[in-house]
Amino acid sequence: MINKDFLKKLTILYVEDEDLAREKLAKTLNRLFKTVYLAPNGMEGYIQFQKLHLAKTPVDLVLSDINMPKMSGIEMLEQIRQLDEEVPFIFTTARSESENLLKAIELKANHYILKPIDTEDVILKSQEVCQKKYYEKMLSIKNQELEQYLDAIDNIAVVLKFDEEINITFINSAFLLSFQKDEKEIINYNFQELIHKDTSREVIEDVIKQIKEKSKWEGELKFADSKGLPFYVTCNIFEIDENHNKAFICIGFLSTKENLEKREFKKKVIKNIQEQRELIANLKKQQEQLKLKISKYENIVPLLRSELDTEKKKSQAKLQQIKHYENEKLGLDEKQESILKMKNKQLEEYKDVMIKVKKEKDLLVEKIHTLEKEVLAKKVDIEKKQETIDVKMKRIEDLNDVIKFREAQIKELDPKALLD
């Protein structure tokens, strides 16, 4: 089923060398997608993608024919993969070629559609590919967020896990630092052995009982480090599913002033490291952009030099031609002056003729106006006479009706007389 709301968020690049096929499918794509960029061959498609990439305008999908002039779809995909390794790609082609198919798979193309194109199939496959990419991206973002949360927890909170038998299966670095022990000294040991010896056995058993019965426990516990020195942790213990087995996790915060200061120091160090990483990432990105620009300019420079040499040759030829024209001009100046005087004289004569023509035209216009008035008067007179004729014709028709009526009466009174 086509998800129009989802498609309206996507930008697509459609590359097809057949004008009619490209325009026909583009009409449908424009109705469904947010933005549709078109290209008539692989070279134009790559240039269009490169411009959008440099402008940081994301392309969500590339839909392209394989067999095209200037640069094939496979060659275009190879170039695009150097800029973007993940952008979804769907090929359309009039024939199935195993070599092209294998190369497309190698370049991480997502689908391969045979012509003639079924528009609905193209839309559904495009939606499927983009949704998969979208969900992968969202999953990646969530995983990154989860890793950040875990890193934050690992550096700020103390965490340990234990199984149903209260044996420890995991402990984070912050907790290990508080115990001043190695991981191997704690893993698989019983949780109760970490609690300070001053804590009564009844209290420990009550905590364990609540954890098992209620699947959670909240409160402050007193632990002992490797030297037997106490430290306090505000704990939140609850049940989790560990590989389909019942287990528990303890997340807590150290209560001592010293550990709080250590925690704040670590947060500042982590923040500093993150800022440095972001700075390095930005510098790398700028470096890649500069490399791309340098590569682009290196390709353009030979062409510009060739054009410059051509323009120099053209300029020299034009200079020689100009000198030739200047020499000819010196000899033509006198002729031009004579011709100019003659033309001025003809122009004056032409002006006089035009004045006469204008006067004659004005007279003709006046005559036309007069004739128009006379014609209008004649029309009015004719209309009046026509009205008089119509009245008289009406009277004649009425008299004919009377005569017919009288004749009918006479026939009824004396038919013989009518015969005589």
Q: What is the pLDDT of residues 53-83, one digit of tens each?
A: 999 888 999 998 888 888 988 888 889 989 9
Mean pLDDT of 108-131: 83
Which pLDDT score, from 0 to 100, does residue 418 have? 47
CB 179 within 8 A of CB 223: yes
**HEC string for 210-250:** HHHHHCEEEEEEEEECCCCCEEEEEEEEEEEEECCEEEEEE
Query: Which residue shows structure tokens 């014709």?
Result: 393
Neighbours of 325 (CB within 10 A): 10
CATH of 4-146, one of 1.10.260.40, 3.40.50.2300, 3.40.630.10, 3.40.1360.10: 3.40.50.2300
Neighbours of 109 (CB within 10 A): 23
Task: Give the predicted TM-score (pTM) of the model.
Answer: 0.41
Give dist(CA 105, CA 20) in Å, integer.
Answer: 28
Domain boundaries, the chain: 4-146, 157-255
Mean pLDDT of 250-272: 66
- What is the number of alpha carbons within 13 Å of residue 302 lying toward its C-beta? 4
Domain 157-255 bears CATH identifier 3.30.450.20: yes
Find the helix packing angle between 257-413 and 119-156, rounded to 10°.
160
- Which residue did the predictor score with more confidence, 8 or 109? 8
Tokens matching residue 87: 């952008």
Structural element, H or E, at residue 39: strand 35-39
Question: Is the pLDDT score of 41 beyond 80?
Answer: yes
pLDDT digits (tens, 9 = 90+) for 182-218: 888 889 888 888 888 888 888 888 888 888 888 888 8
Percent of the chain exceeding pLDDT 70 equals 86
